[in-house]
């Protein structure tokens, strides 16, 4: 009732004031974890005489599905939040137009995984293992350093992972093990997961469930190692009550060559109503002012090499020297088969 | 009796044509907002199948392990239904038989699970059933040994418990409502004529309760068969339903043909169950002299009765309060942060505003689903036997049609809205009214099912007498139907209100930042890492619980004009 009255009032107002120029609106479809400081966005709005209209599309996969389904008459002008596990699908669906933003000059080439410039890298982060410092100190256990360590008898029943069929961190970790072990020779990724299963790995469907219900550091759970983000310890320190501890309550385990780098991309949707503004917004997202806002807002690294990274990140969210090396095209081609094989090994 | 009723009806001239026109509105509503978007998304999924033939369908069935999936979904739903009936019937019985302090509060309390997001309930259950949870501590105390690992999280029992938790109010409302309107003199007459307590229950009471039992069992089955959040969170990776598989196939695999196939299978299975139910319902309904609760209920008289009431009342209260209590306790310390103006994400609006949005949508959805459900229920209440032939078949079809939202995959429908309302004249994407419309769609089967058993049992002679005495059809509805059916109307409104308040899936797809509701805000809080966000989600859920309880108590207190409170 309230809303229909409001709607009616708006209609009347528009009829009554002919020539009333509405400000231009740029629609941005993002995943639900998108965050930015309001004043940073307001500066873009003021400079370009535009109102930004964000809509949250759920997680990365859901957001992309919505964008693909609304092909032709898209839900938005700009799409943000597709990551490199979904990049292949976004490109195959042919929903984006290329835009070689001048801002790409400040972005390292290895982040620019789409040579057609339809998807431009905005930020990146790493999926690795977090461990509960107190648990390992109390038990006098050595913290595992490698993927192989996790299959050792001392680590029995200590690890919780996410289902790669329903969770991005879960899929990222599976891909990291595939990149590390491969499927040839004596130790394959399949045999590795079979050994994790023998070591009583716990699988849950989502990161929230793993982190808040099963990870021991969060109070309730009893598993001291969890597949999570490399920035989670820094986040925990930042969120800790004052007086803050000197180090975060959790630590990172970054296995050599086996932490997955997740890159998130932005692109302009085909059929955008405001293509000029969309290009300006992409430039803005890659510019230093927006990029410097990224770490403390979204807890990932900015792609622009010139953007400042806070001290907290440098201390507690290290960038792995050798991340897992895997080709996005290989991910798109094999994702379903990998997940199926993984389910057979770990769940059945 | 049938003959003279027909004569009176013909006499007062409530033309069948007018009734059909009346019913056309809900049908049209379903065609536009359910059938059309569904057809559009299924067509997209089956497009490739049309090109490649049956091989693609076989491939999709193999991809999803269809046979096993179907069996496990149906088995799980059947078990859930049996357990929910077992848990709900004792409560329905005390509601129907006794007046006791706190009755209205308990009735409202029982519905609160309906609005609680599964993520939050999952976390409540985890602290109860999970590792280091209450259950383990209790077992440790009883056996005197520490280190007992009793976690039933991510197992079938956890799913069954959650389904009982969520759905018990359906049984209490629908069966309890019908039970409390049964004329107690029928049972007394049987006893006078020599029937024992048991015989009088089985031959009289249970017989009269069958339609409402069937209605609630069917609803619970349909909900559990297409269960989504509970399965994902409490079932873990080893348990799935068709609905969770549809989501996985559509979103993670982008296998639209497989998702479309599963949606159709789910729809067919639920439609088959509904068809069987609809036939049974029409046959088993009996006209009764429905009685006001003033007549049918009494305060417990003996100590044993008080004990029974306390037992039947306390067990569900504990079952509800333990998970909910852990939620409220967990939210302490996060309230201040909740109302802070800085440090929140872009999709954060003030919780107060979200609560207002939620309540406004819930009210709109309740009004809309009543406006659609009441004419639909009136139409269906006229039993096919009296129409026979084509008219009867048409009514049966309509009956199943009005139940279809229950069997429809919410995931498919959500995506159907995106594809279907994409271009003129149905260019509704982004329109605010899609939110209450979607909520009303979900609530409609519940609204119709809570009205129908009573509507069918209503003795038409009361209305006929009123008509003969000169009352207009509108006046008959106002002064005969409504007071007698008040409890059913209140239940229908309560169902619609709570369904809307707790709805997440459709709202998340349709919402805009300024239209955010409390459940969507809860997921926004959960979407970011950190214990403080988790705590805020619990605080928001507590808010949602309070808003729901307040709304339900307001609906409960709603009285029909006049002294006759049913």
Question: Can you tell me the distance from the alpha carbon of B325 to that of A334, in angstroms, rounded to the nearest whole number?
Answer: 45
B515 class by beta-carbon count within 10 Å (0-12 exposed, 13-18 middle, 19+ buried): buried
Give contacts of A235 with chain B, Cβ < 8 Å.
529-530
The answer to whether residue B31 sits within a structural domain is yes
**Contact in structure between B296 and B287 (CB atoms under 8 Å):** no
Q: Do A232 and B251 touch (CB under 8 A)?
A: no
Give B-chain residues touching A214 at CB under 8 angstroms: 130-131
The distance of A335 to chain B (nearest Cα, Å) reads 8
Residue window 242-271, chain B: list those with CB within 8 Å of chain A.
248, 250-255
Residue A7 located in a structural domain = no
CB A220 to CB B133 under 8 A?
Answer: yes
Q: Is residue B563 assigned to a domain?
A: no
- Averaged pLDDT score across all residues of chain B: 81
C-alpha closest to that of B544 among B70, B120, B11, B15? B120
Q: What's the pLDDT band for A6 if we cut at 50, 70, 90? A: very low
Interface list for A 161-220 with B (CB within 8 A): 163, 165-166, 203-206, 208-209, 211-214, 218, 220
Count of structural domains within chain B: 1
**B220 domain-assigned:** yes
The percentage of residues in chain B with a pLDDT greater than 70, rounded to a whole number, is 89
Residues 6+ apart with CB under 8 A from A75: A27, A29, A55, A57, A66, A67, B418, B429
Residue A242: how many other CB atoms lie within 10 Å: 4
Is the residue at B540 inside a domain? yes
* Contact (CB<8Å) B415/A69: yes
Mutate to test the interface with B, among A44, A69, A91, A126 (most CBs of B within 10 A): A69
CB pairs under 8 A between A and B: 132
Greater model confidence, B260 or B558: B260
In a domain, A170, yes or no: yes
Q: Provide the chain B residues 383-442 that lie in CB contact (below 8 A) with chain A.
A: 415, 418-419, 422-423, 429, 432-433
Does residue A4 form part of some domain? Answer: no
| pLDDT exceeds 50 at position A7 | no
Which DSSP category does B234 fall into? I
* Helix (H) or strand (E) segment spanning residue A27: strand A24-30
For residue A36, the enclosing domain spans: 21-124+262-316
Residues A177 and A112 grouped into a single domain: no
Summarize pLDDT for A62-80 with one digit per residue, the tens.
899 999 998 888 989 999 9
Q: Which of residues 185-244 of B touch A (CB under 8 A)?
A: 232-233, 236-238
Residues 6+ apart with CB under 8 A from A141: A135, A154
Mean pLDDT of B161-188: 88
A135 and A226 in a single domain? The answer is: yes
Contact B528 A33 (CB under 8 A): yes
Read off the CATH number of the domain in which B468 is found.
1.10.3720.10
CB-CB contact of A335 with A317 (8 Å): no
Closest chain A residue to B151, measured at CA = A221
Please give the share of chain A, as a percent, with pLDDT higher than 70.
93
Residues A213 and A251 in one domain: yes
For residue B328, being part of any structural domain is answered with no
More confident residue, B30 or B3: B30
Contact B233 A1 (CB under 8 A): no
Chain B interface, mutation test: which of A3, A174, A244, most B Cβ atoms within 10 Å?
Answer: A3
CB A85 within 8 A of CB A64: no
CA distances from A93 to A270, A332, B34 (A): 11, 12, 27
Pair (A52, A72) in one structural domain: yes
Q: Do A342 and A247 fall into the same domain?
A: yes
In terms of domains, do A63 and A140 share one? Answer: no
Buried b (16+ CB within 10 A) or exposed e, B403-420: bbbbbbbbbbbbbbbbbb
Question: Parallel, antiparallel, or unpaired: how do β-strands A225-229 and A159-162 relate?
Answer: parallel
Give, in order, the Cα–Cα distances in Å from B156 to each of A214, A234, B153, B189, B217: 18, 37, 9, 45, 20
Is there a single domain that holds both residue A232 and residue A285? no
Place of tokens 């049908």: B27
Q: In whole angstroms, what is the distance from residue B175 CA to residue B209 CA?
A: 7
Task: Tell me which residue in B131, B248, B363 faces A222 most closely, judged by beta carbons.
Answer: B131
Residue A14 lies in a domain: no
pLDDT, average across residues B25-51: 88
Taking only the tens place, the pLDDT of each residue in B59-91 is: 888 888 899 999 999 999 999 999 999 999 999
Instruction: List the single residue in B432, B527, B530 with the smallest CB-CB distance to A239.
Output: B530
In Å, how far are B58, B59, B77, B258 from B52, measured between CA atoms?
11, 11, 34, 14
CA distances for B532 relative to A246, B273, B317, B481, angstroms = 19, 45, 29, 51
Q: What is the pLDDT of residues A123-141, one digit of tens each?
A: 999 999 999 999 999 999 9
Are A108 and A151 contained in the same domain? no
DSSP string, A148-186: GGGGSGGGTT-EEEE-TTT-HHHHHHHHHHHHHH-SSSS
pLDDT at A11 > cutoff 50: no
- Please answer yes or no on whether B346 and A38 come within 8 Å at the CB atom: yes
Instruction: Give the list of residues 6+ apart from residue A261 with CB closer than 8 angstroms, or none.
Output: A84, A124, A125, A126, A320, A323, A324
Asked if residue A3 belongs to a domain, the reply is no
Q: What is the dihedral of CA B156, B159, B160, B163, to 10 degrees?
A: -160
Q: What's the CA gap between B508 and A31, in Å, rounded? A: 12
CA-closest candidate to residue B61, choices B260, B301, B282: B260
Quick check: is A249 in a domain? yes
Same domain flag for A223 and A154: yes
B contacts of A297 (beta carbons < 8 Å): 345
How far is the C-alpha of B430 from the C-alpha of B91, rounded, in Å?
43
Closest residue to B252, CB basis, from A41, A165, A212:
A165
> Which of A179-183, A188-192, B197-201 shows the lowest mean pLDDT across its residues?
B197-201
What is the predicted pLDDT for the residue at A144?
96
A240 and A185 in a single domain? The answer is yes
The structure's pTM equals 0.86
User: Where does residue A201 fall: left (phi above 0), alpha (psi -120 to 50 degrees), or beta otherwise?
Assistant: beta
For residue A211, the chain B residues in CB contact (below 8 A) are 529
Contact yes or no for B254 and A58 at CB 8 A: no
Burial label, B364 (beta-carbon count in 10 A; 0-12, 13-18, 19+): buried
B566 found inside a domain: no
Residue A5 covered by a domain: no
Residues 487-526 of B with CB under 8 A from A: 508-509, 511-513, 523-524, 526
d(CA B291, CA B311): 26
A236 shares contact with chain B (CB less than 8 Å) = yes
The band of A1, judged by pLDDT with boundaries at 50, 70 and 90, is: very low
Q: Which two tokens stand for residue A220?
A: 């309730």
My answer on whether A222 and A330 are in the same domain is yes
User: DSSP letters along B280-293, please?
Assistant: HHHHH---B----H
Indicate whether A8 belongs to any domain: no
Buried b (16+ CB within 10 A) or exposed e, A324-336: bebebeebbeebb
Could you list the residue range(s) of the whole structural domain that residue B418 is in? 15-323+333-557
- Considering only the beta carbons, identify the residue of A72, A235, A336 that sits closest to B530: A235
How many structural domains is chain A composed of?
2
Cβ pair A209:B233 closer than 8 A: yes
Rounded Cα distance between B388 and A254, Å, is 73
Contact A213 B44 (CB under 8 A): no
Residues A102 and A139 in one domain: no
Query: For residue A337, is pLDDT > 60?
Result: yes
For residue A189, the domain's CATH number is 3.40.190.10
| Nearest-by-Cβ selection for B422 from A41, A73, A229 | A73
């Amino acid at each position: 009732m309230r809303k229909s009255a409001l709607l009616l009032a708006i209609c009347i107002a528009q009829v009554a004031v002919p020539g009333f120029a509405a400000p231009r609106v740029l629609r941005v479809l993002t995943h639900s974890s998108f965050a930015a400081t309001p004043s940073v966005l307001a500066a873009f709005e003021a400079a370009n005489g535009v109102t930004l209209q964000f809509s949250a599309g759920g997680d990365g996969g859901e957001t992309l599905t919505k964008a693909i389904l609304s092909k032709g008459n898209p839900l938005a002008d700009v799409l943000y939040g597709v990551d490199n596990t979904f990049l292949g699908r976004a490109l195959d669906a042919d929903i984006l137009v290329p835009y070689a933003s001048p801002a790409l000059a400040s972005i390292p080439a290895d982040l620019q995984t789409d040579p057609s410039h339809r998807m431009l890298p905005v930020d990146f982060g790493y999926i690795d293992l977090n461990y509960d410092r107190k648990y390992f100190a109390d038990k006098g256990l050595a913290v595992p350093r490698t993927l192989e360590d996790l299959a050792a008898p001392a680590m029995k029943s200590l690890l919780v992972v996410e289902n790669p069929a329903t969770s991005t961190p879960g899929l990222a970790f599976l891909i990291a093990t595939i990149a590390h072990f491969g499927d040839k020779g004596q130790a394959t990724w399949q045999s590795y997961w079979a050994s994790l299963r023998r070591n009583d790995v716990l699988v849950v469907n989502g990161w929230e469930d793993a982190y808040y219900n099963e990870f021991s550091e969060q109070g309730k759970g009893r598993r001291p190692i969890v597949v999570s983000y490399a920035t989670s310890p820094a986040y925990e320190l930042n969120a800790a009550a004052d007086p803050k501890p000197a180090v975060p309550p959790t630590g990172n385990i970054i296995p050599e060559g086996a932490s997955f780098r997740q890159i998130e991309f932005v692109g302009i949707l085909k059929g955008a109503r405001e293509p000029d503004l969309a290009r300006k917004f992409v430039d803005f997202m890659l510019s230093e002012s927006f990029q410097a806002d990224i770490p403390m807002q979204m807890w990932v690294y900015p792609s622009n090499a010139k953007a400042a990274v806070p001290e907290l990140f440098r201390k507690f969210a290290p960038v792995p020297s050798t991340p897992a090396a895997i080709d996005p095209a290989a991910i798109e081609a094999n994702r379903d088969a990998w997940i199926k094989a993984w389910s057979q090994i770990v769940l059945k | 009796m049938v003959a003279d009723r027909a004569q009176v009806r013909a006499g007062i001239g409530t033309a069948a044509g007018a009734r059909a026109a009346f019913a056309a509105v809900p049908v049209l509503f379903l065609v536009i907002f359910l059938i059309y978007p569904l057809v559009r998304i299924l067509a997209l999924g089956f497009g490739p199948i049309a090109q490649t033939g049956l091989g693609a369908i076989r491939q999709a069935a193999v991809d999803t392990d269809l046979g096993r999936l179907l069996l496990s979904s149906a088995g799980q739903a059947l078990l859930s239904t049996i357990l929910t009936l077992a848990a709900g019937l004792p409560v329905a019985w005390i509601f129907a038989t006794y007046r006791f302090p706190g009755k209205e509060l308990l009735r409202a309390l029982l519905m609160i699970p309906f609005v609680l997001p599964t993520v939050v309930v999952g976390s409540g259950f985890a602290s109860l059933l999970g590792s280091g949870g209450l259950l383990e501590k209790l077992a440790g105390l009883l056996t005197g040994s520490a280190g007992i690992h009793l976690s039933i999280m991510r197992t079938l029992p956890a799913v069954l418990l959650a389904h009982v938790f969520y759905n018990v109010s359906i049984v209490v409302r629908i069966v309890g409502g019908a039970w409390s309107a049964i004329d107690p003199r029928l049972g007394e007459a049987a006893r006078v004529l020599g029937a024992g307590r048991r015989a009088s229950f089985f031959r009289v009471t249970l017989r009269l309760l069958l339609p409402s039992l069937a209605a609630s069992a069917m609803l619970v089955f349909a909900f559990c068969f297409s269960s989504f959040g509970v399965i994902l969170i409490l079932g873990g990776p080893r348990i799935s339903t068709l609905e969770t598989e549809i989501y996985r196939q559509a979103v993670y695999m982008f296998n639209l043909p497989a998702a479309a196939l599963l949606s159709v299978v789910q729809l067919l299975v639920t439609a088959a169950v509904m068809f069987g139910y609809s036939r049974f319902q029409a046959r088993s309904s009996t006209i009764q002299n429905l009685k006001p609760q003033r007549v049918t209920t009494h305060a417990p008289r003996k100590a044993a009765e008080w004990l029974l009431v306390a037992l039947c009342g306390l067990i569900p209260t504990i079952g509800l309060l333990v998970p909910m209590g852990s939620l409220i306790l967990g939210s302490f310390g996060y309230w201040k942060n909740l109302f802070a103006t800085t440090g929140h994400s872009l999709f954060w609006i003030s919780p107060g505003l979200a609560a207002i949005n939620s309540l406004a949508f819930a009210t709109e959805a309740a009004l809309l689903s009543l406006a659609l459900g009441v004419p639909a229920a009136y139409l269906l209440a006229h039993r096919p036997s009296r129409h026979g032939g084509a008219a009867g078949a048409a009514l049966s079809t309509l009956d199943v049609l009005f139940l279809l939202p229950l069997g429809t995959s919410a995931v498919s429908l959500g995506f159907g809205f995106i594809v279907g309302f994409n271009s003129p004249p149905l260019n509704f994407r982004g329109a605010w009214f899609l939110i209450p419309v979607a909520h009303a769609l979900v609530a409609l089967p519940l609204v119709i099912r809570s009205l129908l058993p009573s509507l069918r049992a209503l003795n038409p002679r009361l209305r006929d007498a009123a008509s003969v005495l000169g009352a207009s059809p509108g006046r008959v509805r106002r002064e005969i139907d409504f007071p007698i059916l008040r409890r059913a109307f209140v239940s229908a409104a309560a169902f619609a209100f709570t369904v809307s308040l707790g709805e997440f899936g459709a709202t998340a797809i349709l919402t805009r930042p300024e239209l955010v509701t409390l459940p969507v805000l809860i997921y926004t809080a959960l979407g970011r890492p950190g214990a403080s966000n988790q705590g805020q989600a619990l605080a928001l859920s507590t808010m949602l619980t309070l808003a729901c309880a307040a709304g339900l108590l307001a609906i409960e207190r709603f009285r029909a004009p006049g002294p006759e409170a049913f």
